[in-house]
Chains A and B, each alone.
Chain A
Amino acid sequence: MSKKTKVKPMKDLEIISDPKTIKVLFEPTRADIVFKFLVSGSMTVKQLSDALGKNPGTILHHIDKLKEVGLVVQERTEQTVTGIVQRYYRATAREFRLGIGGMMQTDDGVAQFAKDRLTTMITSLSVYGIQVPQEEVDGAMQILRPLIERENAVSSNLPILDEPTYHKLPPSVRDDASRIMRRFILEEDSQYRELREKWNTFLRSHRKGK
């Protein structure tokens, strides 16, 4: 093994649609490891164990599971002055979104969670003056769900034409550039524009005072 092993750089956005991966993330400790800590930067097992108040063996097992489904990778290994060798782990993307389609295919209550979450999202629009009656919530979900899925599909497929230069960019610059381009390609996608206009029409018609 003379070639040096490298791991792929962190992606900006990853849509998780595999039901098996979604189920792995539904364990609270694993969700915390990924969404609270490893999306922001790399950490060691000891740092995660101290942050979460769990013992290192438990954290190692969770990291194992997350590596298995490709959500976490080993970023680097360092040796401390005491002789301890620590692996730093990070998430494979800065932002993860759960694919609604994938969630609806799972069992163990994940599908129900997805449905309940969509319902709550729609009814909570009342705080912004958008009143959706209970009998229209299902109809609202039928408009919102394809919009979210289309946005995820387009945003996660942002083509990078100059990979070597892209990977040399500082992460914060890469993030900003990625957000600008994601917004642009969404505007260019006619299917997304159509779905968004349908949703905006729905919101306008349910604005308080209308």
Chain B
Amino acid sequence: MEKRSDLKTLVDDVTVGIKYAAKNIFTFLLGLIGILLVTAVFIVLFMIVFIFGLMLFMGGPAGMIAFFMSLETLFLGPEAVTTIGFFLLILLPFLSPLFVAIGVLFGMGREIVESEGANAEGVFTWYRRKFVPLAIGGIIVFLVVVGPIFLGVMILFYTGGVTSNITNAFLATITTLWVIIASGSLTMLFPSIIDGQSAFEALKTTLRMSHTYFDRVFSVWLGYIGILILPFVPAIFLFPVLLPGSVFSGISIAFMALMGIWALVDILIIVPAISISLSRVYLILSAIEPTETEDEHPGISFVGGI
């Protein structure tokens, strides 16, 4: 099995992912619906616990309302960005069920890669057994990918912001590059966690794999980013021309409908295909050499307990 990439390998990686995602479309759909419902329940429960805790600490509903009113000055004042960052950090654990839901997709992907099929109720087993490592993994991904961007925004905010278009374009390019490289480097994180590693071991594994097998890991990742986003690129340029109510409104509606269909394809097939392809690449990159010598006459024994 080849661990390096070329065009044929990339096409195989993507084709296999899409093929098995399409074959298991209903399994993924049912599993996703189930997981999102559970996730929503968890998030609401966390929020309720948080609000009750806050009420107890603040001396009742009146105290809590006064506290939130006082935050207005912080959110609107000169410290606004820092305050937003601080609250995002506090809210992060509440978003962990969402990260687990994403990780669970990789559990289904792994089942499909190893056995050509999965069942919808299996997602709840992955959710239960891998909740903590997937939650930590998701927080790591969020902090690594989004954290530096937020820091950059804070620096810009406190240094008076950007004035020129060139600097804007430069910053937008740097941000996009960072998101692609950071997220690409972490693509093997969830498959490693599903494979039984802790979140921190999985972080080491994904960084090592994305460094050693840069071509394989990033070719698959960029391939899928292209599939996800490229169909929408024409819409960005044609949007001013194709606004509803203009001369082209019939075409614009048809165009919007096509975009809607592609968005659906993205959610139902491409996103599951990503989990399948990345799980597959992980299994290939983590493959080991066999050590057992072949037995010409297996099972034939001459000796018992002498």
Contacts and interface: CB of A to CB of B under 8 A. Distances in A.
B175 to A, nearest CB: 30
B59 interface: no
A168 B293 contact: yes
Contact of B113 (A6, A7, A85): A85
B77 interface: no
Interface string B270-299: 000000000010011011111111111111
Given A55-B119, A58-B125, A85-B280, A76 B290 contact: yes
A180 B306 contact: yes
A7 to B, nearest CB: 6
A84 B114 contact: yes
A182 to B, nearest CB: 8
Interface string A17-53: 0000000000000000000000001001110010000
A64 B133 CA distance: 14
Nearest to B108: A57
A67 B194 CA distance: 13
Nearest to A176: B303
Contact of A86 (B16, B114, B208): B114
Interface in B178-203: 196
Interface residues of A, number: 47
A146 to B, nearest CB: 20
Given A45-B114, A85-B113, A176-B302, A6 B288 contact: yes
A184 to B, nearest CB: 9
Contacts of B19: 83
Interface string B1-43: 1000000000010011001100000000000000000000000
B181 to A, nearest CB: 19
Interface in A59-82: 60-61, 64, 67-68, 74-79, 82
A147 to B, nearest CB: 15
B292 A56 contact: no
A20 B292 CA distance: 28
A4 interface: yes
| Chain A interface helix/strand/loop/mixed | mixed
A115 interface: no
A93 B273 CA distance: 37
B111 to A, nearest CB: 5
Contacts of A10: 292
| Chain B interface helix/strand/loop/mixed | loop
A181 B113 CA distance: 43
B292 A9 contact: yes
A172 B114 CA distance: 29
Nearest to B280: A85
Given A57-B107, A172-B297, 14 more contacts: A6-B288, A7-B288, A8-B291, A44-B114, A44-B115, A49-B115, A55-B119, A55-B122, A56-B118, A58-B125, A74-B288, A83-B19, A170-B296, A179-B305
What are the 4 closest A-B residue pairs judged by CB atoms, nearest first?
A77-B287, A83-B16, A57-B122, A56-B115
28 contacts: A4-B289, A44-B114, A44-B115, A46-B114, A55-B119, A56-B115, A57-B111, A57-B125, A60-B110, A75-B290, A76-B288, A76-B289, A77-B283, A77-B284, A77-B286, A78-B1, A84-B115, A85-B1, A85-B114, A85-B284, A90-B292, A168-B293, A170-B296, A172-B295, A175-B303, A179-B304, A180-B303, A183-B305
Interface of A: 1-2, 4-10, 41, 44-46, 49, 55-58, 60-61, 64, 67-68, 74-79, 82-87, 90, 167-172, 175-176, 179-180, 183
